[in-house]
Structure 1
Amino acid sequence: MSKVTSLPTADAECAATISEQIDALTDPSFMTSLARGLAVLQAFSDARKPQTITSISQKTGIPRAAVRRCLHTLRELGYVDAELNNFSLRPKVLTLGYSYLSSTPLTVSAQPYLDNISRTLNESSSLAVLDDDEILYVARASTSRVMSVALNTGSRLPAYCTSLGRVMLAHLPRAELDAYLARTRLIAKTDKTVVDHEQLRAILDTVRRDGYAINDEELEIGLRSIAVPVRGASGTVLAALNVGVQAARVDIPALKHNVLPVLQQAAQELSILLP
């Protein structure tokens, strides 16, 4: 009998959550097969190598037979390619996100401002929104790599331990923030990560009051960042704008003195263009 390798606890919980969310919906208009197909596509998002049916099943909690049918369909439609039992995404999958990026005023308007921030400061700058309890990068201007993993448009990171995420969380309605904190497990990414819910709530109160968030090596050692909110015409926070730096080069006073005013100016000018 072959040995089955168990998933790490966090991955197993995530897989169970995805599968349970899909299967628990009893709306007669809800298409479970479509939901499973999208979950299979998302299973490739953090993978740098081809995926097998077994690995995707483990990530999503979807039975292998259903994963196999999803992959067959996606391959027939041109979104997935396969070599033996190894599956990878094809360029056509980019069309699924291009419509959003090309039609949303936020992403269309933001890129020139990000480019200008990066030229002015010689640092990488990003724009992100809150999506499913994570931050989703929707625009980025990179001058150098400050994280061990590459960040691009479409990348996702936890909201609770990022400057972008804390800006977004700080401006949620109180009931929505309470629900987020109740369902979110705070996992330490470094020895500096805040994992106490009440301490995080206090930090978010400060972010809301001060109008910016600073992350000091809580996501990754050596990474320091600062973020500000981007508001629409109604004053609602639609996104967050940040700059990430190497902690060894830029201290917190320098972030506040040199970087914060540039971010605030860009956010203010960008807000004028948004509905």
Structure 2
Amino acid sequence: MYNLTMLEANGDPEFMTSLARGLAVLRCFADEQRPMTIAQASRLTGLSRPAVKRCLHTLVRLGYAAQEGVSYVLRPKVLALGYAYLSSSTLAMRAQPLLDQLRDELHESCSLGVNEEDEVYYVARAEVSRIMSISLRVGSRLPLYCTSMGRVLLSGQSKENQRAYLRRAKLVALTPHTQTEPGDLLALFDHVAQEGYAIVDQELEIGLRSIAVPVEGPDGVVAAINIGMQATRITVAELRSRYLPPLRKVAAELRALVTNPRR
């Protein structure tokens, strides 16, 4: 949920409160993945019901949403907002064919993620047809501290930034295996930075293992590539032996493409 009160109170004369409110309401649909009522959007954003109603009315008038009884749903026109990023992002565009090749080679789903608002944002993904309890897609968001891509992204930051993140983050034990102690997590970030990869074993969800490697740019780690799978299908040792080398190969290829965009 956006903390709009803090944003509106900082005295920035250029800040458009009405736009921030509209975007906050729009984001509710992505967070909840279901039709929204005015009351639900009000609770999620912290905005008053009249303010939410005006935002939704505007979205309907502009063709980004539709009203169905007491609920509201998004219309296809909203896809243009996300596509604007994907079509202009050199990283996402250049990563997709590499992820497709990696998926076909390993027969596993793989993803590219970046750090945005203290979360892993999925900006490219190549999927195989396999049932997993966590449904991931471009635009999905997951915590940094308990995911393989998140730890790779954090490992590329300064110690000061890592500590600041751990003070801000809600370190919730999502499973009995989730690491939540700040000192232990700082040590894990150091280990990931030294080894050049991260493995997370059932910390995000029981039965799910993943491995990730960094994608580096001129100024450090800019993204992470990972493969996630059911723990019953592969051991941690096999993650290292079978999946780490091809992941590193794709990360190196993507780094070369991003560093030399004319290639």
| Common fold: TM-score over 0.5 | yes
> Aligned AA for 2:21?
R
- Residues 163, 32 of structure 1: alpha-carbon distance in 2 compared, 3 angstrom cutoff: same
**Which residues of 2 match residues 8-19 of structure 1 at below 5 A?**
15=1, 18-19=3-4
Provide the aligned length of Structure 1 versus Structure 2. Answer: 259
SS in 2 for 1:248: helix
Distance 2:131 2:189 in 1: 24
Give the aligned partner of residue 112 of structure 1.
97
Distance 1:22 1:78 in 2: 27
Question: Which segments of 5 or more consecutive residues in structure 1 lack a partner in the other structure?
Answer: 1-14
> Aligned AA for 1:263?
L
1:206 counterpart (191, 201, 224): 191
The answer to whether the 8 A contact 1:226-1:260 is kept is yes
Question: Which segments of 5 or more consecutive residues in structure 2 lack a partner in the other structure?
Answer: none
- Residues 194, 263 of structure 1: alpha-carbon distance in 2 compared, 3 angstrom cutoff: same
Structure 1 length-normalised TM: 0.91
SS in 2 for 1:195: coil
Higher alpha-carbon deviation: 141-150 or 174-183: 141-150
Give the aligned partner of residue 238 of structure 2.
254
Q: Does residue 1:71 correspond to 2:56, yes or no?
A: yes
The answer to whether the 8 A contact 2:149-2:224 is kept is yes
Distance 1:185 1:47 in 2: 19
Runs of 4+ in 1 over 4 A off after TM superposition: none
Give the aligned partner of residue 250 of structure 2.
266
The answer to whether the 8 A contact 2:4-2:20 is kept is no
> Aligned AA for 1:237?
V
Aligned-pair RMSD on alpha carbons? 1.3
Higher alpha-carbon deviation: 235-244 or 215-224: 235-244
SS in 2 for 1:149: coil
Give the aligned partner of residue 57 of structure 1.
42
1:195 counterpart (159, 180, 196): 180
1:121 counterpart (106, 117, 127): 106
The answer to whether the 8 A contact 1:133-1:180 is kept is yes
Give the aligned partner of residue 96 of structure 1.
81
SS in 2 for 1:154: coil
Q: CA deviation at 1:235?
A: 4.8
The answer to whether the 8 A contact 1:147-1:220 is kept is no
TM-superposition CA deviations, 1:86-136 (whole Å, max 9, x none): 001111111111111011110010011111111111111000000000000
